[in-house]
Structure 1
Amino acid sequence: MAPTTTSPLIITLFLLFSISLKSHCFKITTQLIHRDSYFSPLYNATATTADRPARIIEATLARYVQLISSYDDRPLAVDIVAPGIWGIRFNIFYVNFSIGDPPVPQLAVMDTSSDLLWVKCPPCSPWGWPWSPKHCKYKIDYAGGHSSEGVYATEQLTFQTSNNGFVTTIPKAFFDCSSKQSGSEGLDPHVNGVLGLMAGAGGDDFPDGQFPLVTRLGTSFSYCVGSLSDRYYPHSHLSFGDAVDLIGGSTPLYLEEGRYFVHLSDISLGGKMLDIKKEVFTKMALRKKIEMDSGSELFLLYTEAFEVLKEEIERLAFWELMTPVLSPPSPLELCYKGMVEKEARGFPAMGIRFVGGVELVVDRFGVFFQVKDDVFCLAIVRSKGVSVIGMMVQQGYNVGYDLKAMTVDQASFGDRKVHHA
């Protein structure tokens, strides 16, 4: 284990002023890049309407397997279990930053299910601790036999803020310098690692005196995402620091098993509360399996709640004259002919209500998604294990994580939301 670092972490805002972390009044805001957006280095201009949904479905299945594997007592032979993310080609949002001076650009996956910041490092990298590497090695194993290993390192991090021209630097930031990744075949060379947003207080995963990046930078973070289907939407962003906007209603946040959990209390359609037995939500809460996850796009819902929701959606779809499609692609269960914009125009909003009364109001573009030019499907998937609040139902919201009060704050960002026809 490496010696304790004694140098203070100083945040320098170039073109503005310099402040210390102790002032508790700073915020870093940087652009979130959707994998399929025009602004992404992974953007495929020749992709068809069906390509993205196929990837979403495949990614949902892969993510589900990872989550379930992490809960089961399966022999994964791990040093650190960080189940949440490895299939980088399947992930949703990326963050740009640079390491070193002169800065070397990085593109990393945003992951709320990991507390590590790690990047792929070249052989004989100059980044690292001034002590022997044998005292500061790390290895992280993921479900499916994938892993990343290397050494702990410190170096300057540089973030480009959402306001062009403003740069934030973090000197002597702690991260993991990965010299070996297994199971990385087929990964896009543009993607270089993971930016973990899981809170923590150090421990066995970190050298003495070190903490996850999000914890060192303050007590909160938030993200805002617009339409996931609009490839030209430029305003999605990630913020972290003590001055992050925490607005709207809040619900208790739980940090268990390396995950962020919340408790549901009700689900509604068109203002009508569904007849889901309270013990179903209680069971999910006791099992600590209602997760907020940045790596899932679809909404995974526990099967006993899903059955009630599915029945009501079928009933409403009938009255909206939506034409069902036989044999939907697995794991999807309800599909309809046509375009969401037209055929589901009158479909009522879904409300996902959390303990404390805060509610995500999800319009038809979060309830359904287009899978072909003439077919759209329910964006909610049955789960026999963990339930996951995916990013599709979080479109149009500022979602803030208050790591001091341990709450999640959610507020619609109104006119910045993409309005569909």
Structure 2
Amino acid sequence: MASTILIAAMFFHLCSSTSALSVNDGFALRLIHRDSPHSPFYNHSMTTYDRRLAAARRSLSRLNHLHLRATLPQGASEFAPALIPDELEYVINVSIGTPPTKVYAFIDTGSDLVWVKGIPFFDPDKSFSYTTLPCNAEPCNDLGNDRTCKGQGSCTYRITYEDRSTTSGVLSKDKFTFEAPDKSSVDVGFVQFGYSNVSSREFTGKENGCVGLTDSSLSLINQLGIKKFSHCMTIPDDQVRGSLMYFGSRAVVYGSQTPIFQNLHGLYMVKLDGISLGDEEIPNGKAIMIDCGTSHTQLDPMVFQPLVDKMRQLVPKPMPIVSGFFELCFRGTFDDVRKLPNITFHFGGDAKVELIKETTFLKMGNDNVWCLALLRSKVWGFSVFGNIQMRNFWVGYDLERKVVSFQAAICAQF
């Protein structure tokens, strides 16, 4: 009986692989925003106002994790801050094992690891290609103090969070296949990942895992030997075609470019020279993290406060702070939004990103209230450039040349 099952599984795998694309040729993935009707997270009962507040809340929470991630000392484990998926924004379809099990995984340019939750989402006993990594394997050493194994056994880990909850599992390896925008398969071969089988923390929603995309050894791109990737995020995010992410030779890396700071953790940190409001510039000269996993851009108060002060003088009928998140709101029409001066981010090098009106102010609901989509960072000196402000731009990451690029585009056309 077992041999019959094995033969059937091998036949299924061979048949499903015949139409798979080669990772060496580059490939594309469809990104599903968590608030899209096509997302497993979509909640029909939420209003636009509810979703605006939820995105702002996730952004502020994620900033704390990113700051922790960026300030880890050299040699410390990077697992813990990477295992918090609740704040992430874009989901992809992934199939793992032989025969394949379909899971939903967040993409994250702010973490290293690929990881998957256990039963009922993924059962390694049902995959004939699943293996665990030994404790003496080099990737296991990257777990630092979170590694719990000894000797020649499997590489196990236990993570303790700030709220004292825990997650434990085993560093593993299995076949990964992604779903391309045209529903075809992208077979990338074997990928190392954390199989988290016990958790005292109840993650919300239906997320099954995370795909880390930093420039570090255990991230997906470095495991596959990919040196370029890019994404183009649509307005709005619930379009049928959705947003796109391209890898390898298909990556779109052109337009204005800014150098990536060398850092210990493979994060996409660049210099923010300043922000201009029309012809008036607010200097900065500090680092900012480029992160597609964060919804709202959050700015160091030293830059945010003068920007808000100047903008408040220009908007019609300014309102009080909305729900503790949005510090500049007004009642008006989109024509009022169009009349306001453009906000432009000036990054190091020659990179400029002039925000479109739809990503500068967000309509909060049906009562013609508009709020500035930029938030105040709760960590002094730490800023993050989020995915709302990336919409309708090709954002490219070139790991060989160590640059991030920006090119204006109509992402829904691709």
Tell me if both proteins adopt one fold, taking TM over 0.5 as the criterion: yes
Tell whether the 8 Å contact from 2:297 to 2:385 is kept in structure 1 after alignment: yes
Q: Shift in Å at residue 49 of structure 1?
A: 2.1
SS of 1:156 mapped into structure 2: strand
Q: Separation in 2 of the partners of 1:49 and 1:414? A: 23
Q: Which of 393, 399, 404 is the aligned partner of 2:400? A: 404
Query: Normalising to structure 1: TM-score of the pair?
Result: 0.80
Amino acid at match of 2:189: P
Amino acid at match of 2:292: S
- Compared with structure 1, are the counterparts of its residues 269 and 97 closer, same or farther at alpha carbon in structure 2 (3 Å cutoff)? same
The corresponding residue for 1:314 is: 312
Tell whether the 8 Å contact from 2:20 to 2:187 is kept in structure 1 after alignment: no
Q: Separation in 1 of the partners of 2:196 and 2:295? A: 27
- Compared with structure 1, are the counterparts of its residues 118 and 16 closer, same or farther at alpha carbon in structure 2 (3 Å cutoff)? closer
Q: How does 1:224-263 map to 2 (within 5 A)?
A: 224-227=232-235, 229-258=236-265, 259-263=267-271
Q: Shift in Å at residue 29 of structure 1?
A: 0.7
2:190 pairs with 1:172? yes
Tell whether the 8 Å contact from 2:113 to 2:210 is kept in structure 1 after alignment: yes
Q: Separation in 1 of the partners of 2:56 and 2:347? A: 26
The corresponding residue for 1:181 is: 199
Q: 1:249-299 deviations in whole A, cap 9, x for unaligned? A: 2110125242220101121123x14143xxx41xx24xxxx1111221111
Q: Shift in Å at residue 114 of structure 1?
A: 0.8
- Compared with structure 1, are the counterparts of its residues 170 and 124 closer, same or farther at alpha carbon in structure 2 (3 Å cutoff)? closer
Q: 1:220-246 deviations in whole A, cap 9, x for unaligned? A: 11111011x452352301222244221
Amino acid at match of 1:352: F
Q: How does 1:60-139 map to 2 (within 5 A)?
A: 60-70=59-69, 79-83=77-81, 86-88=84-86, 90-122=87-119, 125=125, 126=127, 127-129=130-132, 134-139=153-158
Amino acid at match of 1:399: V
Tell whether the 8 Å contact from 1:85 to 1:142 is kept in structure 2 after alignment: no
Q: Shift in Å at residue 140 of structure 1?
A: 4.7
Identity between Structure 1 and Structure 2 (%): 28
Calculate the aligned-residue CA RMSD, in Å: 2.7
Amino acid at match of 2:212: G
Q: Separation in 1 of the partners of 2:216 and 2:92? A: 21
2:293 pairs with 1:295? yes
Amino acid at match of 1:313: M
Q: Shift in Å at residue 87 of structure 1?
A: 4.5
Q: Shift in Å at residue 144 of structure 1?
A: 4.6
Q: How does 1:338-417 map to 2 (within 5 A)?
A: 338-339=332-333, 341-374=334-367, 375-383=369-377, 384-414=380-410, 416=412
Q: Separation in 2 of the partners of 1:366 and 1:397? A: 11
The corresponding residue for 1:162 is: 181
Amino acid at match of 1:396: N
Q: Shift in Å at residue 113 of structure 1?
A: 0.9
Q: Separation in 2 of the partners of 1:87 and 1:129? A: 23
Q: Separation in 2 of the partners of 1:16 and 1:106? A: 18
Amino acid at match of 1:381: L
SS of 1:306 mapped into structure 2: helix
Q: Shift in Å at residue 348 of structure 1?
A: 2.6
Tell whether the 8 Å contact from 2:393 to 2:407 is kept in structure 1 after alignment: yes
Query: Normalising to structure 2: TM-score of the pair?
Result: 0.81
SS of 1:263 mapped into structure 2: strand
Q: Shift in Å at residue 416 of structure 1?
A: 3.5
Tell whether the 8 Å contact from 2:85 to 2:210 is kept in structure 1 after alignment: no
- Compared with structure 1, are the counterparts of its residues 401 and 316 closer, same or farther at alpha carbon in structure 2 (3 Å cutoff)? same
User: Mind listing any 5+ residue stretches in structure 1 that lack a counterpart?
Assistant: 1-11, 202-210
Tell whether the 8 Å contact from 1:83 to 1:113 is kept in structure 2 after alignment: no
Tell whether the 8 Å contact from 2:94 to 2:179 is kept in structure 1 after alignment: yes
Q: Separation in 1 of the partners of 2:175 and 2:43? A: 32
Tell whether the 8 Å contact from 2:66 to 2:110 is kept in structure 1 after alignment: no
Tell whether the 8 Å contact from 2:243 to 2:411 is kept in structure 1 after alignment: no
- Compared with structure 1, are the counterparts of its residues 143 and 252 closer, same or farther at alpha carbon in structure 2 (3 Å cutoff)? farther
User: Mind listing any 5+ residue stretches in structure 2 that lack a counterpart?
Assistant: 1-15, 136-148
* Number of equivalences: 370
SS of 1:152 mapped into structure 2: strand
